[in-house]
Amino acid sequence: MRKNLGEVLFWLHLPVVLVWIGLFFFPQAWWEDKVSFHFWFIITVFASQVLWGIAMISVRKRFGAGVCLLTTLTQYVRGFSISDPRNYNHTFIIEFCERFRIRLHDSVLNTLLVSTLVAVGVQFLIETRW
């Protein structure tokens, strides 16, 4: 039961990642507010991770902005304690790639993350003419 619930929680990450990346390839002509939605979607996901990172300070004794509530729940259901480093040093994308035998280093993932944040921010600034 725990294994199945862990898998469900793991795969619940996929829609978030697909929206995060997929909206880059979705034509704006089909959805006028795509850029604005994409920007606020990414800000919301990022803010939720920062807030969860702040909440986890009491458990971890240090701050981490990349702490995902869904990952914490997934790892907890898998049998890891909340304070276990596998709750906050673990990412869906790296585990997803490993399942397909693709090695993706943290530095590459962080570079991709920052690149998407910058790209969406620039798109938003251009769109809103700030």
Supply the angle between the helices 106-128 and 34-55 in degrees, to the nearest 10: 130
pLDDT single digits (tens) 59-78:
777 666 667 889 888 989 99
pLDDT tens for residues 33-63?
Answer: 999 999 999 999 989 988 888 888 777 776 6
Give the model confidence (pLDDT) of 98-118 as tens digits: 999 999 888 898 899 899 999
Report the amino acid identity of residue 43.
I
Please measure the distance between the N-terminal and C-terminal CA atoms of the chain and give it in whole angstroms: 51
What CA dihedral angle connects 58, 61, 66 and 67, to 10 degrees?
Answer: -40
Whole-structure pTM value: 0.85
Cite the DSSP H helix spans in the chain.
Answer: 2-11, 13-22, 34-55, 57-60, 69-77, 92-99, 106-128
Q: What digits encode the pLDDT tens for the residues 11-27?
A: 999 999 999 999 999 99
